[in-house]
Amino acid sequence: MTGERDLGRLLAGMRPELSAMDWGFACADRVPEAVQPFAVVAEDEGLTLVAPMDRLRQAGLQPQGPMARITLRVHSSLVAVGLTAAVAGALAAEGISANVIAGFHHDHIFLPAAQARQAMQVLDRLSRNA
């Protein structure tokens, strides 16, 4: 497996980056043509689409959000242990929800947009104290 596995190095090297746009989660039976989702999760109840809020609304969907997306720029291994728990725990201690989606290279945290700046401060503090 490629990517970093050591939790201390993962936390110290997170380099959280806040996306400039608002994101939403919506349910659909298919991906509308106008929506270019960041992620699609196939569940028994239908597809969960994670995409920009405005695109979901334009497609006639009723998204939940707005959500902020913070990308952890460290290249984490898919078998790394503890990064999600450490990040979610630090955010939870401040009353911030964390919906984490792991990509091949990075982890992406979706959280209420109104708490984005506070979340960035929490993650910066977590990284400095690693």
Q: Which residues pair with 25 in a beta bridge?
A: 50, 64
Instruction: Report pTM.
Output: 0.93
Amino acid letter, 80: A
pLDDT at residue 2, as a whole number: 84
7-128 has which CATH code? 3.30.2130.10
Instruction: Write the pLDDT tens digit of every residue in 28-86.
Output: 999 999 899 999 999 999 999 999 999 999 999 999 999 999 999 999 999 999 999 99
Spatial contact of 108 and 67, defined as CB atoms under 8 Å apart: no
Q: Which long-range contacts (CB under 8 A, 24 or more apart) does 89-92 make?
A: 90/122, 90/123, 90/125, 90/126, 91/119, 91/122, 91/123
Q: Kindly indicate the confidence band of residue 1, based on its pLDDT and cuts at 50, 70 and 90.
A: low
pLDDT for position 48? 97
Is 88 within 8 Å of 64 (Cβ atoms)? Answer: no
